Structure 1
């Protein structure tokens, strides 16, 4: 209880202090626009840090380690990492397209409404909100399982106490608080993985202590119980039948939780136009090392250590239920580091949950505020009303998720846990439920011909097909429908693939077959989306107006600047397509497939190099997501630090002289070609 409440309270107070400092020393105004978009001016380093932190769920650490343990092979960690990195890389292309098509949007769903109208908008709202709910449920179930395993704190208490501090600091700081928290989360996660888990397992542990010793034990285990479906029965090969099945499920399922999670679109919107692409690319490549090295270290260490009496379940192996619940990582951490391992795992899980949970709060509140409340109930709502709606929706969503997760208080179990549905089950299921909306959502931004009917009906039709194929495959293959049989690889594989690919059949039919016809969209209605105007923002933010006397607002973007920004985005869009495709092919084909096809069994030198590359990669990740944000923000940090020092010395409050949240050159808050329909007689759109 002390750990949960202490960390939660610490970060709540920390973020409140940060928000207060920004208001006092940088004169930052917490308007509705600032709350949701952070001024649309964040740099690539902080975007990368936020992507790493948000994509590092509890499931990332727990599930990836469980995959390495379950499939008993080095392939599991790689398949998990590669299969969940590609989506972020490909999403970078859509990030640039959003900046080009609708630079003033608040949510991705605003673009859907602008292009297709209310009916399609409603369909996408359902899929996006269900994505937020499913991701949040996975966060709570994973965190609750780890906490109960390590401390004995009841699950019911965990799901209510975990989010308290997160809700508080998000309410105070908005999406900027989420970005700042993301930075600290990424720092802690990388330090724990690099300097504690990896170095202890591969250098100082008395049982393991080196990659060579891990390789020797895995070789001995393969001789004792060869693994069916692996090349030569080895645990040191990329050729694994079970791992390959998981790879496909992982790729398909993760498309939905990136492309349909409004939190990632929020990060795109908050980034400055030229920083969205590098931010997402750096974030994706930095994130890859986290599950890869975590699972290669802790998953394989668990396999080795279960042969010794220090293992919690010795002489038995861990049950499938415990592996699915994500308990391989905490068990291994306790064996390797004792009580310190338990504390490190709790901290790791909490940090992973905190960032993503905060992002989900912003995601849901922005949908409710801009896509429902402002869109259909009060189109001219002032900033105060929008802020109030943000606060209300965040509070209701947090209570709803805790209540949804909690049902059987007498048995101290969550509803999902009570019926046998764990984090691992939800992780495999999410693609079946959500992926049918991925392709229609993507084509909304990149294909002008997709019709209203295709965008509206292909997601629900795909959903019906995926659920039907998932359940029919389970019944035909295993003869019964239970939580256990529906969660097996074969039915999950079929359901996930059908969900993602079935729209490829429906979309052409609903676009080209009469009476349907292509839309021939001109993108103008997206370009017409405007920022929210706050009435008297200085007074609304309760800022002393006397401090701004004599200060001038930043100059508005000139026509030339708008054209330059548009040209940069057009060039960046072309670069993004080729870069993202090349990186995706490298991770999915060029690197793993020769090892998979040849059935190569790792030698001790190759395995050592494999581990060393993972550690080096994580150090590079640390540079991109820890040091780069500091470098990019060095002027603001120095200016604010000097202001605080002067305040403490009684010299007086120093002013930054700039009101954040107002339009600044290159901020992305103004349509690049607004008012410039034609220049020199030529259409510049």
Structure 2
């Protein structure tokens, strides 16, 4: 399963386009963020302290939260993998991808509210783990959190570099190193606020390009140009190469055996990459208390449209146009390696729009890769700064030491991931393989991590051991199924749907056995949540300017008004408690609609 395109074809663009867009846009965003940081400091007195770098002052409103959620959840895989499943399974593929990855964001909004309630001063979710269970459990979840960040970033870089290489001929290794370069720079200067501000721009650009593709495919293209023309070509494609497991072998049905298997893998894997990724907790922490719930719900519902429209357009367009000379692999079909590497979307764009489509795809993938990579860099810097450095190395760290650690970890993680992604490329492991694998590796931590905020009875042993036991169970299920079905363990055999299904399901569901078993066997906890509230904010006094005497007197006068402050805290707690109740009922109802009420009648009827 090679990450590089297997079909021999001439790239539609020169390498200059690849280097120009990857390096040029990266530095443009960096300069923009440097200017923004200077303006905020010059005219609003905003200091880039460790608190501001990691939490943006905890005052971000719902609009920016929702755009950040959409942008962070719009990976390269969102656009490339969703188009790939549309190419493989037909019209059902886009829905299986979009709905199977929307429910996690919706359900996570409940955890976001609980985090704001239980630990209002936390910088990372892992601080909450340590406050409740101690250093041993903390170490376990640091490992799972970092594994999540590594897998997600590797997926971003392998997918993005494969597309850049396919469209421009730029070497994949150059893409792996240059794609994160600009992201590292603007993240260093802007911190998490940089991710919120650039996420908004990225999301707008991504939506505009997807609309261009959609209108071209279904309205203006000389090759396609109308829904009826696409429908007719898909019927022809079904007759020429029917899909095994689809009703009548058709691309135009929701009844797809392999599609529903992917649906389950998609659901399980994405639980792991949301609930175990510190980046999503970072956004909840940065949000204003009343903005977390609407921000995540709006973001989740808005995000659904991106992979659904993109895949319904580009995945089906690839199927419809691959029999035309303008398709890059003509007269051959796309190989399995090309599809797994994420090349369905760029090939369809070239078939429809020529070099213009290639340029649009380059910009689209650059935006998707860099916005999500920025969130991963901030997530890792938070873990390195607050969960490792301040907790175990220098508990009395000053603000300057904390911000230095955050900056250093951003640079180091970016360079390490560029090197790791290069190794994956040479090992023949592509974005599609990593996408299916991620749930096997990290989803065993989803249930115990969630129960840390939702259930006071879970004890330390259950929280510590169930992710480890779940990981062991998932690895055994994954590899044993691959060995039993294929007789050998290779990238191809372990990347097949059935082994990945077994491993993903075992990872997510095995803690349903381990958590209650360990809790009952060793005695349930009776946690009172107070230790989470003792988490303190960082000491950044050494980085703040010394106030003049008049301002100092005003600050002292404000500090005396204790009753007003206490009343505000009580009111905030009341609003968060109300939001928590709304979140639980609303998100569960929405999840059932996306997973059962909408797709299952269509699947059962064979439509």
Q: Which of residues 520, 531, 537 in structure 1 aligns to 2:537?
A: 531
**Distance change (3 Å), C-alpha of 1:547 and 1:223:** farther
Q: Deviations over 1:574-615 (max 9, x none)?
A: 100000001001111111111111001xxxxxxxxxxxxxxx
For structure 2, the residue ranges without an aligned partner over 5 or more in a row are 1-18
Does structure 1 retain, via aligned residues, the 8 Å contact 2:326–2:350? no
How far apart, CA to CA, are the structure 2 residues paired with 1:158 and 1:258? 26
Question: In the alignment, does 2:40 pair up with 1:22?
Answer: yes
Question: In the alignment, does 2:55 pair up with 1:37?
Answer: yes
How far apart, CA to CA, are the structure 1 residues paired with 2:300 and 2:389? 33
How far apart, CA to CA, are the structure 1 residues paired with 2:495 and 2:175? 25
Count of residues paired in the alignment: 584
Question: In the alignment, does 2:74 pair up with 1:56?
Answer: yes
How does 1:250-399 map onto structure 2 within 5 Å? 250-399=266-415
- Classify the secondary structure of the residue corresponding to 1:539: coil
Q: Which of residues 570, 594, 600 in structure 2 aligns to 1:593?
A: 600
Q: C-alpha displacement at 1:318, in angstroms?
A: 0.4
How far apart, CA to CA, are the structure 2 residues paired with 1:341 and 1:112? 47
- Classify the secondary structure of the residue corresponding to 1:50: helix
Q: Deviations over 1:523-565 (max 9, x none)?
A: 000011111121244339xxxx679969956956611111111
Q: Deviations over 1:168-191 (max 9, x none)?
A: 111111100111011101110011
Instruction: Give 1:138's aligned residue.
Output: 155
How far apart, CA to CA, are the structure 1 residues paired with 2:509 and 2:74? 26
Q: Deviations over 1:63-112 (max 9, x none)?
A: 000110012x1000000000000100000000000011001100000000
Q: C-alpha displacement at 1:34, in angstroms?
A: 0.8
Question: In the alignment, does 2:126 pair up with 1:109?
Answer: yes
- Classify the secondary structure of the residue corresponding to 2:397: coil
How does 1:144-163 map onto structure 2 within 5 Å? 144-163=161-180
Question: In the alignment, does 2:283 pair up with 1:247?
Answer: no
Question: In the alignment, does 2:527 pair up with 1:510?
Answer: no
Instruction: Give 2:87's aligned residue.
Output: 69
Instruction: Give 1:640's aligned residue.
Output: none
Bigger proportion of residues as helix: 2
How far apart, CA to CA, are the structure 2 residues paired with 1:290 and 1:305? 22
Instruction: Give 2:24's aligned residue.
Output: 6
How does 1:477-488 map onto structure 2 within 5 Å? 477-488=485-496
Instruction: Give 2:140's aligned residue.
Output: 123
Q: C-alpha displacement at 1:142, in angstroms?
A: 0.5
Q: C-alpha displacement at 1:218, in angstroms?
A: 1.0
Root-mean-square deviation over aligned CA pairs: 1.5
**Normalising by the residue count of structure 1, what TM-score does the alignment of the two structures yield?**
0.84
- Classify the secondary structure of the residue corresponding to 2:545: helix
Q: C-alpha displacement at 1:39, in angstroms?
A: 0.5
How does 1:194-205 map onto structure 2 within 5 Å? 194=211, 196-205=212-221
Q: Which of residues 474, 479, 492 in structure 2 aligns to 1:466?
A: 474
Q: Which of residues 76, 89, 92 in structure 1 aligns to 2:106?
A: 89
How far apart, CA to CA, are the structure 1 residues paired with 2:554 and 2:431? 53
Q: C-alpha displacement at 1:226, in angstroms?
A: 3.0
Does structure 1 retain, via aligned residues, the 8 Å contact 2:279–2:378? yes
How far apart, CA to CA, are the structure 2 residues paired with 1:54 and 1:381? 30
Moved more, 274-283 or 503-512: 503-512
Instruction: Give 2:199's aligned residue.
Output: 182
Does structure 1 retain, via aligned residues, the 8 Å contact 2:385–2:405? yes
Moved more, 553-562 or 34-43: 553-562
